[in-house]
Copies of this chain bind each other. A is one copy, B any other.
């Protein structure tokens, strides 16, 4: 179970990191069912990243994997190439989505979008670490 309070704690940590990185972000949290618990768009963050942050979180829970790792397997010639066409366009295959685990079990995920892949990943990691 991920409560709204959990989600807010994770988002706060991610926001703080985004501030340090100097890049405004969209940050989204989903629960074990892949359904949105909370989302924030920091002032100035990209509008196109709303959907991406939510779907990075969905993707990370949908396959219990970071979107970065999934992306490595979803390149041309890779075993999952083409997976980005599934699930009605909800599968994101670049960095910024990380599963949230409790006692070794995935119970949700965070998705971050708004900067470079590296920045998104850093911010998502900071959020995941606070869970």
Partner-B contacts on A (CB < 8 A): 3-4, 7, 31-43, 46-52, 55, 58-59, 61-64, 71, 74-77, 79-89, 91-95, 116-118
Contacts and interface: CB of A to CB of B under 8 A. Distances in A.
Contacts of A64: 46
Given A89-B89, A91-B85, A79 B48 contact: no
B117 A80 contact: yes
Nearest to A80: B94
Contact of A52 (B38, B79, B86): B86
Contacts of A95: 79
A48 to B, nearest CB: 3
Given A4-B41, A34-B47, A85 B81 contact: no
Given A32-B32, A86-B92, 16 more contacts: A4-B40, A7-B40, A32-B33, A33-B33, A33-B35, A34-B35, A34-B47, A35-B47, A36-B41, A39-B39, A47-B61, A48-B61, A48-B63, A48-B86, A51-B88, A82-B91
